[in-house]
């Protein structure tokens, strides 16, 4: 059996595919798996590191904002688009997959369309509550269309067989031990642990609000706070803390780093999380049943993080603050209200857990295997 995964662009498209591929390999050890992605994208590093074959396929998305640089970028995108279908077909004919699986990135659309044209069984998975352009393009071409949340269906072309599977979650997220994680991270017994992050690059507005939050809680020393600044916040946050007179250096209650490499332990240790609203972040928050304050990024395609966040908010599973409304004062007030009300924290966590689909990896793998066994298309 051969399965081709078409994904790339962001970790939110790549990591779910890797999680499913790992589950598929567990179920069918001799399954041949090939990932197709951009040679200049993070998939070119993440996929081989995870132990899977990688085939380069150059593709570029379309920049929606008007600027001279974006005009030049889009011109290159159009040039690649002209040959996209023929290059995709060449890869498909060479590998001859039994199933092609996409995850909604600009890489996946041309591969899936080519697979449909060659009558190769194909399917896609939409991680967000508001489907992206690529998945909307292929919605009526693929054999199966999988959804993370049922709310996404209303934004897609009508078909009778959308399948809700949830979003894949890394097994290590579920396996992390809370007591061991808190001990390793230096959280004192009975101490509340706050986790905050704004993405790998970091967000200035979140770092500014978190600086105000630390200025509020550090003098009391009651909270253990883990915060990832992101690349652009490495120098910004310490400068803001110095300006506010916060004793952050060598403070046992503060764990400030650029990036969180041990997310399973950090999520296990946390009592409350402040985060963006990417699909995989939310899948992990619900998987561990963690209360959260979500600050959707406005700098994403079609504001899809807002729609993701509102799925949780409408189920009473998270508090949402839009970035346009975010201030240090607003964040401090929100965190103080939540931490002073243990029953509310518990309720948010329980409702988050009620939205979790812990078997998404298994469900998606099962759909792939079933599609591979269906009779060949005429």
Find the DSSP H helices in the chain: 11-27, 43-49, 68-82, 84-95, 108-117, 133-138, 171-175, 178-185, 204-217, 236-243, 263-269, 279-288, 304-314, 328-339, 342-354, 360-373
Residue 222's pLDDT band, with cuts at 50, 70 and 90, is very high
Give the 3-state secondary structure percentages of the chain, helix then strand then coil, rounded to 5: 50, 15, 35
| pLDDT number for residue 295 | 98
By C-alpha distance, which of 374, 367, 355, 371 is closest to 23?
367
Q: What is the pLDDT of residue 319?
A: 98
Residue-level pLDDT at 377: 67
Task: Give residue 70's pLDDT.
Answer: 53
- Cα 137 from Cα 113, distance rounded (Å): 9
- DSSP code for 28: S
254-272 burial string, b = 16+ CB within 10 Å, else e? bbbeeebebbbbbbbbbbb
Residue 334 above 50 pLDDT? yes
* pLDDT number for residue 73: 46
What are the pLDDT digits (tens) for 36-94? 999 988 899 999 999 999 999 976 555 556 565 655 545 555 555 556 788 899 999 99
Strands 122-126 and 99-102: parallel
Range with the poorest average pLDDT among 85-94, 139-148, 263-272: 85-94
**For the residues 234-244, what does the mean pLDDT come to?**
95
The predicted pLDDT at position 59 comes to 67
Delineate the domains of the chain, giving CATH numbers in brackets. Answer: 2-168+358-373 (3.40.50.2000), 172-354 (3.40.50.2000)
- On the question of pLDDT at 130 being above 50, the answer is yes
How many Cα neighbours within 13 Å face the side chain of 349? 18
Residue 128 DSSP one-character state: S
Question: What's the whole-number mean pLDDT along residues 83-109?
Answer: 91
pLDDT for the residue 85: 80
Better pLDDT: 160 or 122: 122
Residue 361 · residue 20 · CB < 8 Å = yes
Q: What pTM does this model have? A: 0.86
Residue 106: pLDDT above 60?
A: yes
> What is the rounded distance in angstroms from the CA atom of residue 285 to the CA atom of residue 267?
8
What pLDDT is recorded for position 15?
A: 86
Q: What pLDDT is stored for residue 81 in this prediction?
A: 57
- The reported pLDDT for the residue numbered 160 is 79
Mean per-residue pLDDT for 180-197?
97
Whole-number pLDDT of residue 203: 85
Strand, helix or coil for residue 187 = coil
- The proportion of the chain whose per-residue pLDDT surpasses 70, expressed as a percent, equals 93
pLDDT of 224 strictly over 60: yes
Share the mean pLDDT of the chain: 91
Count the residues in the chain.
378
- Confidence bin at 187 (pLDDT 50/70/90): very high
What is the rounded average pLDDT of the residues 99-110?
91
pLDDT exceeds 90 at position 138? yes
Give the confidence band of 314 by pLDDT, cuts at 50, 70, 90.
very high
């Amino acid at each position: 059996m051969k399965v081709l995964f078409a994904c790339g662009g962001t970790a939110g498209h790549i990591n779910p595919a890797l999680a499913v591929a790992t589950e598929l390999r567990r179920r069918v050890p001799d399954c041949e798996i090939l990932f197709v992605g951009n040679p200049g994208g993070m998939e070119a590093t993440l996929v081989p590191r995870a132990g899977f074959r990688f085939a380069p396929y150059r593709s570029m998305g379309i920049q929606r904002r008007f600027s001279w640089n974006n005009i030049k970028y889009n011109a290159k995108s159009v040039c690649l688009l002209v040959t996209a279908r023929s290059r995709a077909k060449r890869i498909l004919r060479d590998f001859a997959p039994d199933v092609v699986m996409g995850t909604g990135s600009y890489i996946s659309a041309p591969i899936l369309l080519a697979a449909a044209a060659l009558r190769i069984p194909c399917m896609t998975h939409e991680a967000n509550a508001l489907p992206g352009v690529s998945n909307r393009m292929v919605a009526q071409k693929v054999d199966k269309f999988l959804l993370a949340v049922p709310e996404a269906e209303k934004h897609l072309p009508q078909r009778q067989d959308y399948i809700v599977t949830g979003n894949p979650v890394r097994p290590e997220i579920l396996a992390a031990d809370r007591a061991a994680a808190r001990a390793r991270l230096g959280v004192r017994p009975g101490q509340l642990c706050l986790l905050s992050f704004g993405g790998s690059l970091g967000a200035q507005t979140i770092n500014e609000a978190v600086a105000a939050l630390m200025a509020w809680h550090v003098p009391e020393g009651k909270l253990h706070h883990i915060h990832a600044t992101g690349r652009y916040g490495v120098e910004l946050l310490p400068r803001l803390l110095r300006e506010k007179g916060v004793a952050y250096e060598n403070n046992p209650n503060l764990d400030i780093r650029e990036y969180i490499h041990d997310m399973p332990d950090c999520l296990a240790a946390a009592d409350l999380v402040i985060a963006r609203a990417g699909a995989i972040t939310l899948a992990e928050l619900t998987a561990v049943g963690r209360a959260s304050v979500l600050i959707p990024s406005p700098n994403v395609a079609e504001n899809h993080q807002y729609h993701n966040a509102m799925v949780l908010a409408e189920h009473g599973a998270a508090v949402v603050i839009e970035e346009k409304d975010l201030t240090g004062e607003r964040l401090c007030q929100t965190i103080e209200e939540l931490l002073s009300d243990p029953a509310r924290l518990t309720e948010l966590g329980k409702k988050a857990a009620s939205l979790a689909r812990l078997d998404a990896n298994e469900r998606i793998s099962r759909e792939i295997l079933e599609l591979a066994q269906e009779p060949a298309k005429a």
